[in-house]
Chain A
Amino acid sequence: MIYLDNASTSWPKPDSVVEAVSGYIRNVGASPARGNCTAALEAMGVVLDCREAIAEFFGSSNPMNVVFTHNVTWGINTVLHGITDPGDRVITSTMEHNAVTRPLSDLKTRGIEVTYCPCNHLGVLDLDAFEKSVPGCRIAVINHGSNVTGTVQDIPAISRICREAGTVLMVDAAQSAGIVPVGMDSGADIIAFTGHKGLLGVPGTGGLVFADRFDTSTVKPLAQGGTGSLSEETRQPDFMPDRFEAGTMNGPGLAGLLAGVGYLRELGLDTVYERKMKIAGTLARGIMEIPGARVFKPEWGQRWTAVVSFTLKNSCTASVAHYLAVEHDICCRHGFHCASCAHRTIGTFPGGTVRLSPGIFTTMEEIEKTLEAVRSYRE
């Protein structure tokens, strides 16, 4: 099998991640922050290690401002639902994933106005239009790296605009974290991340990193429940991180995420990026050379999250993906990739694209085989 769907979830995982997850299940087992037996304390230690590693990864000085959620979608929903009230306005871009557009659609039914700021055909946000629309907005939520084109937005510039307008900025780093640099030094107030893509952890992990200056009491939690703290009280604790962490923590998942971040730290993000650019660049160039093929990516030399979205003239994207899967055992994604809004922006609606997303373990040989397979496709 050739796995080219790392933008959905990264695979394979480093051995250290597999060992950390299975080691937790085999040897730790207990629920973090519940009870005082050795295993429970060890479990809590793993969660705290992971919290500290994530804080360090995103350049936060305070691990208490790292909140773990089930995934990035849950984190984004927590903030969007928790910070807005009827009459508020939210601004976003036309390159967002459904993790953003769907909660925003729901908020619209609750009296919250939503402004979609345009992006160009490569998915780059129109900063002038953004600057004009931001004043008066409660929050801006912006996709850092597009899961459709790999386009990377200029977060420092966006955060400067938001800061001047007094608008909170939440960055959706689902596609970028672990591939291109993204951290609190970008000026973001909140970074939403997932653990199972570029950070090399397993599904069921993700969260939010709040800037130290950000007042987390302005965000109501999405869920309430047991935290292992203030158990005598029926109200949800108001302090961090317990405020947003109701219910049993995903100990095995966080053990894996800790190992994934450790693997990246050892490898170095520059090495990861360089490796991905080499592989994805070869793939994109190869696809571009195929008659009738069109690749949707940022201009060469621009930051890119190494996803190769393409169409073949007069071909259905589902058929291409099916052909690659059945005839060549190549895993990829076709259609809208849960981001129909982005396809309207880049002009690939309603057909969508075929998306090939290499990972850090993808080999050049696999890329050559994939190019050969795409060349051999006939409608």
Chain B
Amino acid sequence: MSEYLYMIFKSMTHVLTAERAARKHGIQCRLVPIPRNLSTDCGMCVSVRAEDGEDFIRIAGEKGLSPERIEEHAGPGPGARCYSS
């Protein structure tokens, strides 16, 4: 099993809302560009540790949001960096 997950949402508003909510719950996550092989969209997605995946989905769900797509990946993500709101 891969160490990280990409959580891909429909819109940047959704991405940022989910990422903020997850951070508030103490989940480490990063905003990263959506890899082009996963989507041609030019937006961003959230990279989380696989072990936090279920919690992240639950917390996003509490905001009425669910990832459009979830993909495993090996590292924090290309160009990954923290964004704190």
- Which residues of B in the span 50-68 have a Cβ within 8 Å of any Cβ on A? 63-65
List of A residues within 8 angstroms of B17 by Cβ: 48, 63-64
For window 30-49 of chain B, which residues contact chain A by CB distance below 8 Å?
A: 31, 33, 39-44
Chain A, interface size category, equals 20 to 34
Chain B residues touching A, majority SS: loop
Selected from B13, B39, B65, the residue in CB contact (under 8 A) with A48 is B13
A229 touches B44 (CB 8 A): no
Instruction: Bits for B1-23, please: 1 = Cβ < 8 Å to A, else 0.
Output: 00000000011111011001000
Contact B11 A229 (CB under 8 A): yes
A86 lies within 8 A of chain B by Cβ: no
* CB-based contact B16/A231 at 8 Å: no
Complex Cα spacing A228 to B33, Å: 13
Does the CB pair A44–B16 fall under 8 Å? yes
Chain A interface main SS type: loop
In residues 28-71 of chain A, which contact B (Cβ within 8 Å)?
32-33, 35-36, 38, 41, 44-45, 47-49, 51, 62-64
Given B11, B20, B40, which contacts A237 in the complex, CB threshold below 8 Å? B11
Report which of A48, A239, A241 forms a contact with B16, defined as CB distance below 8 A.
A48
CB–CB A231/B11 < 8 A: no
Given contacts A36-B31, A36-B44, A41-B83, contact A230 B10 (CB under 8 A): yes
Q: What total of chain B residues lie within 8 Å of the partner, measured CB to CB?
A: 22
Question: Could you tell me if A229 and B85 are in contact, using CB atoms closer than 8 angstroms?
Answer: no
- The yes or no answer to A227 lying at the interface (CB within 8 A) is yes
Q: B31 contacts which chain A residues (CB < 8 A)?
A: 36, 41
Complexed CA–CA distance, A38 and B65 (Å): 24
Q: In the complex, what's the smallest C-beta–C-beta distance from B33 to chain A, in angstroms?
A: 5
The residues of A that contact B39 with a CB separation of less than 8 Å are 232
A242 at the interface (CB under 8 A from B): yes
State A33–B10 Cα separation when bound (angstroms).
12
Chain B residues with Cβ below 8 Å from A33 are 11-13, 43
| Cβ contact within 8 Å between B41 and A231 | yes
- A44 to B12 CA separation, bound complex (whole angstroms): 8
A48 and B85 alpha carbons, distance in the complex (Å): 10
Nearest CB to that of B31 among chain A residues?
A: A41
Residues of B within 8 A of A228 (CB): 11-12, 42-43
Q: Which residues of A contact B20 (CB under 8 A)?
A: 48
Contact residues in A for B65 (Cβ distance below 8 Å): 64
A237 touches B10 (CB 8 A): yes
Query: Given A64-B64, A228-B43, A229-B43, A45 and B11 touching (CB < 8 A)?
Result: no
Binding site for B on A (CB under 8 A): 32-33, 35-36, 38, 41, 44-45, 47-49, 51, 62-64, 227-232, 237, 239, 241-242
Given contact pairs A48-B20, A228-B42, A229-B41, a sample of 16 additional A-B residue pairs in the complex whose CB atoms are under 8 Å apart: A33-B12, A33-B43, A41-B16, A48-B85, A62-B64, A63-B17, A64-B64, A64-B65, A229-B10, A229-B43, A230-B10, A230-B11, A239-B11, A239-B14, A241-B13, A242-B13
27 contacts between A and B (CB under 8 A): A35-B42, A36-B31, A36-B33, A36-B43, A36-B44, A36-B79, A41-B31, A41-B44, A44-B16, A45-B85, A48-B85, A62-B64, A64-B13, A64-B17, A64-B65, A228-B12, A228-B42, A228-B43, A229-B41, A231-B42, A232-B40, A232-B41, A237-B10, A239-B11, A241-B11, A241-B13, A242-B10
